[in-house]
Structure 1
Amino acid sequence: MTELSRRSSQRRTTSPPPHSHHYHSMAPPYAREEPILQDQAPPSYSSLRNLPMIPSPPTDARSIRFRNMLLSLSATPLSWENPGLLDEALRMVPIDRIQTEAEEESMILQAEAESLGKKPEWGYQDCAIKALMKWFKQSFFTWVNNPQCDACFCPTISVGTTAATDDEAARGATRVELYRCSQPECGAFARFPRYSDAFVLLQTRRGRVGEWVSCFGMLCRAMNARVRWVWNSEDHVWLEVYSAHAKRWVHADVCEGVWDRPRLYAEGWRRKLGYCIAFSADGAMDVTRRYCRNPAKYGKERARTPEPCLLHILNEIRSIRRRDMPKQEKFRLEGEDIRERKELQAYVVMAIAAEICKLMPGARADGAQWSDPDAQKAEEARQTGETQYVRAPGQGNRQNPHNPHNPRRDQEGR
């Protein structure tokens, strides 16, 4: 071995330089390399794009404030996990009526699917949630813009906010709106506490978007459905319900009474969306791509924190919520997260493909040659919504009394 090492060392020291003619003629092709010049610049990696983002903890004050806000919002669905309160909420639901309507719709969908040789669009649990939404909107909860006067039951005028009483504070009133009777001879005041506790809302049964979504989310949990609370940076909230039949999260807006129409806000209301973050008892997910399919047209600037910081914040919330879960449950949820990320990425691909198709010869600029049922529903909703508002001279858009549940409003907010 010593002799072989010596001979090998001699061959290395006596071998011709890489740029010699002998080297190029005798060495194998893969060993023939160009000489490296000392003044040659290193290779540039600026061409690498779309690398996976690396989560980065927030460091600047703006990002830290955004993180604290998201951590606070992530606790909203946890209030729906009290077994005792869920049992109490279930007693208020007409179970027989819900089950009957769900079974009828499920049988119709099953028959339609069998005739076409396909899988039914929705399962029984999905039909039950749709029936619950219909009952909740029509019979259970009341939309309130300006409460009636307590003395003469006349319309009232907003005069601002006031401090909560001890009883209102004990029941979790976040703020109290104050209204004065519109009749000068009356002059009485009406109070409208804004409660966030879902159990209190089961008793009051009135409010606006925040109250509607909170109470309905608790009833969905009482029906044993998995629910997510979606916060939108443009002052709106709604729910997502997990469909075990479709194996995906489904958009559900109880205020509008719509099911699985995620394009309603951007393409229907023509509203630009920045952030749509879904919170559940299992974690958090950025679902903006589900509701804003064309960011160039309907997207809003996302400047509250860099994207790597947002990814870190959502991972942090997810880690907190799943900390004490069994390992098998964690694996199952991670599998759901992977499928949902693929779904959201597919929306990006479809948006790019749609833009490319518009460049084809004979294509219209608006892409009207493509028939998209979801987009058609959103357009119909937008056109319907435009007829439900009247602009008075010198005033903003006022809500039509025949459509009291539309969340677009001027002063009352969420």
Structure 2
Amino acid sequence: MEHSHAAPRAAADVDTDKLAHEMTERFRQVLSTRRMNELTSRSLSRPSSPAPRDFGTPQPPPMHNAPPSYSSLRNIPLVPQAPQDARSLRFKNMLHSLSNMPLRWENPGLLDEALRVVPLEQIYNEAEEESQILQAEAESLGEGKKAAWGYQDCVVRALLRWFKRSFFSWVNNPACSRCYSPTIGVGMAAPLPDEQARGANQVELYKCSVEQCGAYERYPRYNDAFVLLQTRRGRVGEWANCFSMLCRAVGSRVRWVWNSEDHVWTEIYSLHRKRWVHVDVCEEAWDKPRLYTDGWGKKLSYCIAFSADGAMDVTRRYVRNSNHSLERNRAPEAVLLHIMDEIRALRRNNMSKQDKFRLEGEDMRENRELRSYVISSIAHEVSRMSVDDIINGRSRHPRPDPDAQKAAEGRTGGASEWIRTRGEGGRGTPNQQNPRDQHPR
């Protein structure tokens, strides 16, 4: 008897489940159809409907630490557009001119000559020692762990230390060559024929501060990296120019990064990490892209990297939130994208298909990296909010940014004194110590 009653109950259970499933699907279809009809009717009546502000709904107050707003994200995907207005055309011409800088470092004969001034044995020994230490540290963490940096990265790190500590010197006002007293800037002078032949387009003129001496001192601003190997002095532009050329000489792929707020630095491509690495020889800084914003408190608008292979807008690597960003008004974002594509196509015009394909893969990886900084910044700002912050539209207890400490290292100790000597560290303002520093830095 038990079996005779069990069978009908089982059949009834199956029928009930099937019926419930069918009713659920019908209910979903009805809701979906109704929702689509509502959306259609709303879209058709939208022109005559009042704007949301007409209903008088109170708007929440702006949040003190709102997530960064990237205006370029509002129109993704951007479609490159050729510049039309005069301002955009000037920006295009300037960027094309700046893109020629890395081409000066591609002469193999001159690079061989440059290596004569570098203590290669010392550099390679230091690199080998550091590389072995990093490899041992990685192995101690477990099997299959990768060292932080590869051997070629260590070569550039050793070159960075030697260049800053032993080779190049910083110049603001050159000392009087007659009595070695301090000098005072008095203006500009036309370059002499021999100065012009060596690549000096500008010459700064200084007068000895000692009244009895009164001698004048000329300071040519050389743009030729190989001339700088003999002078071994300068400011940011000369430092980055000469150091980048030496990085190229020891076999690294190099970028020269131009910043519109009057600074330049270097990026080298790490084969070990498969990405571009920030290097600032003036600060002896390695892989600290947030040095200028979180470290110095500067605000930046454009950071454009130029290499022998093209150009890339890398601003998002150095500006991680809107608190450190300035208005980008030299050209629309779509126009800037067109200029970057134009320079890239020009540099790769005569390359093989294999090289072009490899570089396009690198570009795609870098674009993903740059987008990830935007996502990480937004996620970090959101993670700092509490429920009360969202309701009240403010952030009362912000959590510290763990990455800010790394960048803030540039503000402590001797580096702080070095920055003050150079007149850096302003909040979004160029070097005000000497107006002639604005170009070529």
TM-score under structure 2 length normalisation? 0.78
Residues 1:84 and 1:42: Cα distance change in structure 2 (over 3 Å): farther
Residues 1:211 and 1:39: Cα distance change in structure 2 (over 3 Å): closer
Superposed, 1:225-236 pairs within 5 Å as: 225-236=252-263
Q: In the TM superposition, what is the alpha-carbon distance from 1:371 to its structure 2 partner?
A: 2.8
1:41 aligns with 2:70: no
From 399, 402, 410, the equivalent of 1:381 is 410
The C-alpha deviation readout for 1:282-304, integer Å capped at 9, x for no partner, is 0000000000111x200000000
Residues 1:399 and 1:84: Cα distance change in structure 2 (over 3 Å): closer
Residues 1:194 and 1:49: Cα distance change in structure 2 (over 3 Å): closer
- Name the structure 1 match of 2:109: 84
Q: Which segments of 5 or more consecutive residues in structure 1 lack a partner in the other structure?
A: 1-27, 391-396, 401-406
1:137 aligns with 2:164: yes
Moved over 6 A (4+): 28-34, 37-40
- Name the structure 2 match of 1:238: 265
Q: Distance in 2 between matches of 1:202 and 1:80?
A: 13
1:203 aligns with 2:235: no
The C-alpha deviation readout for 1:29-63, integer Å capped at 9, x for no partner, is 999997xx99983889xxx9643000000100000
Given that residues 275 and 288 in structure 1 are in contact (C-alpha distance below 8 angstroms), is that contact kept between their aligned partners in structure 2? yes
Q: In the TM superposition, what is the alpha-carbon distance from 1:365 to its structure 2 partner?
A: 3.7
Superposed, 1:303-342 pairs within 5 Å as: 303-342=329-368
**1:41 partner SS:** helix
Given residue 110 of structure 1, which amino acid in structure 2 is its aligned partner? Q
Given residue 205 of structure 1, which amino acid in structure 2 is its aligned partner? R
Given that residues 188 and 203 in structure 2 are in contact (C-alpha distance below 8 angstroms), is that contact kept between their aligned partners in structure 1? yes
- Name the structure 2 match of 1:23: none
Given residue 246 of structure 1, which amino acid in structure 2 is its aligned partner? R
Q: In the TM superposition, what is the alpha-carbon distance from 1:139 to its structure 2 partner?
A: 1.3
Residues 1:387 and 1:90: Cα distance change in structure 2 (over 3 Å): closer
Q: Distance in 1 between matches of 2:133 and 2:116?
A: 28
Q: Distance in 2 between matches of 1:108 and 1:101?
A: 11
Q: Distance in 2 between matches of 1:272 and 1:140?
A: 31
Q: In the TM superposition, what is the alpha-carbon distance from 1:323 to its structure 2 partner?
A: 0.4
Residues 1:389 and 1:212: Cα distance change in structure 2 (over 3 Å): closer
- Name the structure 1 match of 2:12: none
Given that residues 176 and 192 in structure 1 are in contact (C-alpha distance below 8 angstroms), is that contact kept between their aligned partners in structure 2? yes
Superposed, 1:326-365 pairs within 5 Å as: 326-360=352-386, 365=397
1:74 aligns with 2:99: yes
Q: In the TM superposition, what is the alpha-carbon distance from 1:408 to its structure 2 partner?
A: 5.4
Report which stretch shifted further, 381-390 or 303-312.
Answer: 381-390
1:52 aligns with 2:77: yes
1:155 aligns with 2:155: no
Q: Distance in 2 between matches of 1:408 and 1:40?
A: 54
Q: Distance in 1 between matches of 2:109 and 2:166?
A: 24
1:272 aligns with 2:299: yes
The C-alpha deviation readout for 1:314-349, integer Å capped at 9, x for no partner, is 000000000000001000000000000000000000
Residues 1:264 and 1:408: Cα distance change in structure 2 (over 3 Å): farther
Given that residues 358 and 364 in structure 1 are in contact (C-alpha distance below 8 angstroms), is that contact kept between their aligned partners in structure 2? no
Given that residues 302 and 315 in structure 2 are in contact (C-alpha distance below 8 angstroms), is that contact kept between their aligned partners in structure 1? yes
Q: Distance in 1 between matches of 2:45 and 2:199?
A: 63
Given that residues 212 and 254 in structure 1 are in contact (C-alpha distance below 8 angstroms), is that contact kept between their aligned partners in structure 2? yes
The C-alpha deviation readout for 1:127-155, integer Å capped at 9, x for no partner, is 00000011111111111111111111111
- Name the structure 1 match of 2:151: 124
Q: In the TM superposition, what is the alpha-carbon distance from 1:107 to its structure 2 partner?
A: 0.6
Given residue 200 of structure 1, which amino acid in structure 2 is its aligned partner? V
The C-alpha deviation readout for 1:216-275, integer Å capped at 9, x for no partner, is 111111101000000000000000000000000000000111100000001100000000
Q: Which segments of 5 or more consecutive residues in structure 2 lack a partner in the other structure?
A: 1-28, 48-72, 389-394, 424-429
Given that residues 149 and 273 in structure 2 are in contact (C-alpha distance below 8 angstroms), is that contact kept between their aligned partners in structure 1? yes
Q: Distance in 2 between matches of 1:184 and 1:366?
A: 57
Given residue 109 of structure 1, which amino acid in structure 2 is its aligned partner? L
Given residue 409 of structure 2, which amino acid in structure 1 is its aligned partner? E
- Name the structure 2 match of 1:113: 138
1:170 aligns with 2:194: no
1:410 aligns with 2:433: yes
Q: Which has the higher contact order (CA 8 A, sep 6+)?
A: 2
Report which stretch shifted further, 133-142 or 309-318.
Answer: 133-142
TM-score under structure 1 length normalisation? 0.83
Q: Distance in 2 between matches of 1:115 and 1:386?
A: 32
1:190 aligns with 2:213: no
- Name the structure 1 match of 2:323: 297
Given residue 176 of structure 1, which amino acid in structure 2 is its aligned partner? V
Given residue 178 of structure 1, which amino acid in structure 2 is its aligned partner? L
Given that residues 283 and 415 in structure 2 are in contact (C-alpha distance below 8 angstroms), is that contact kept between their aligned partners in structure 1? no
Given that residues 56 and 308 in structure 1 are in contact (C-alpha distance below 8 angstroms), is that contact kept between their aligned partners in structure 2? yes
Q: Distance in 2 between matches of 1:355 and 1:198?
A: 43
Q: Distance in 2 between matches of 1:54 and 1:262?
A: 28
Q: Distance in 2 between matches of 1:352 and 1:87?
A: 47
Residues 1:39 and 1:253: Cα distance change in structure 2 (over 3 Å): closer
Q: Distance in 2 between matches of 1:302 and 1:143?
A: 31
Q: Distance in 2 between matches of 1:228 and 1:250?
A: 10
Q: Which has the higher helix share?
A: 2
Given that residues 149 and 181 in structure 1 are in contact (C-alpha distance below 8 angstroms), is that contact kept between their aligned partners in structure 2? yes
Given that residues 80 and 221 in structure 1 are in contact (C-alpha distance below 8 angstroms), is that contact kept between their aligned partners in structure 2? yes
Q: In the TM superposition, what is the alpha-carbon distance from 1:205 to its structure 2 partner?
A: 1.0
Residues 1:258 and 1:346: Cα distance change in structure 2 (over 3 Å): same
Q: Distance in 1 between matches of 2:293 and 2:101?
A: 25
Q: Distance in 2 between matches of 1:38 and 1:353?
A: 36
Given that residues 398 and 410 in structure 1 are in contact (C-alpha distance below 8 angstroms), is that contact kept between their aligned partners in structure 2? no
